[in-house]
Amino acid sequence: MNRKRILVIDDEPSITRGIKLNLEALGTFEIRQVNQAPDAVQSALEFKPDLILLDVMMPEMDGGEVAARLREIPSLKDTPIIFLTAIVAHEETQGGEAYIGGEDYLAKPVDLGTLVQAIQHRLIE
């Protein structure tokens, strides 16, 4: 079975680990975690993800900058990115306002159901 590869970038290892355990337990995803933003591009080049989950607020480099660097790489420029952010309310991520430069974003804390739904939605697109 062809499992979808998802790259999870967040400076908090507990979060990337939680997402990895949950999504891999579903059996349809293969996850790689990145906890250092500067390592994101290299990991993405190696892992060739189908989708990237990207935290917005990270100490060394914020999510927007990481996304810009990923978009510079031809093989990654069309890979869907879902931003994870802690500084907006959940309601703000609903409807048309939920897109930044064509990307989704989800308000932390995200529950598994919402996360899976958002991932599947972007993968189908």
32 binds other proteins (CB under 8 A): no
Do residues 40 and 17 make contact, with C-beta atoms less than 8 angstroms apart? Answer: no
Taking alpha carbons only, the member of 70, 110, 71 closest to residue 88 is 110
Binding mask 73-102 for other proteins (x = CB under 8 A): -------------xxxxxxx----x-----
Order the strands of the 51-55 sheet from edge to edge.
29-34, 4-9, 51-55, 81-85, 103-107, 99-100
Q: How far is the CB of 56 from other proteins (least distance, A)?
A: 9
Do residues 52 and 75 make contact, with C-beta atoms less than 8 angstroms apart? Answer: no
Report 38-77 residues binding other proteins (CB under 8 A).
Answer: 57
**Quick one: which H or E segment has residue 22?**
helix 13-25
Q: Applying CB under 8 A, which part among 1-9, 38-46, 64-72, 109-117 lies near other proteins?
A: 109-117
Q: How far is the CB of 92 from other proteins (least distance, A)?
A: 6
26 binds other proteins (CB under 8 A): yes
- Contact residues for other proteins, defined by CB under 8 A: 12, 14-15, 18-19, 21-22, 25-26, 57, 86-92, 97, 107-112
